[in-house]
Amino acid sequence: MSQVQTSALSHGLAACHMCCKLAPLDQHHCPRCGSVMHARKSDSLQRTLALLVTACVLYIPANVYPIMLTDQLGSTEPSTIMGGLAVSIADTLKARL
């Protein structure tokens, strides 16, 4: 495989996300499949950071509060993600013994 150590963008090219076709960037649509083409995502770091911070914040209530309420004969039992994991490990150990 011969290779050129340059990026597609430096040649004014971009790969289509739908069909992988390399096409000049000044055309806004892929010549093969007609999909919209763009070079880099705009504000990518800013978007990533914003979503990452939100995900970190939501991670806390997702693990602290119950994910499922089990209702059996009138008694309701809440369970968290980690609780479910603990139950399945305990059950496996019980079955082994």
Partner 1 sequence: MNVNIACHGCDLLIDVSELADGSIADCPRCGGFLTRFRIDAYERVVASSIASVICLILANSFPFLSFAASGLESVMTLLSTPGSLWKHGMPVFAFLVAAFIIIIPAVVLFLLLAIAVPLAQRKSRWWLQPAAHLLFKMQGWAMVEVFMIGVIVSLVKIMAMATVIIGVSFWAYAAFSILFTFALANLDRYQCWNLIEELESE
Residue ranges that bind partner 1, judged by CB under 8 A = 1-9, 11, 13-15, 17-22, 32-33, 35, 68, 70, 72, 79, 84, 87-88, 91
Ramachandran bin of 41, using left for φ above 0, alpha for ψ from -120 to 50, beta for the remaining angles? beta
Nearer to partner 1, 32 or 47 (CB): 32
Nearer to partner 1, 43 or 91 (CB): 91
Shortest Å distance, C-beta 51 to partner 1: 18
Residue 30 burial (10 A CB sphere; 0-12, 13-18, 19+): buried
Shortest Å distance, C-beta 88 to partner 1: 5
Nearer to partner 1, 22 or 82 (CB): 22
Distance in angstroms (rounded) separating the CA atoms of residues 63 and 52: 17
Distance in angstroms (rounded) separating the CA atoms of residues 62 and 67: 7
Nearer to partner 1, 7 or 54 (CB): 7
Distance in angstroms (rounded) separating the CA atoms of residues 14 and 5: 15
Shortest Å distance, C-beta 38 to partner 1: 12
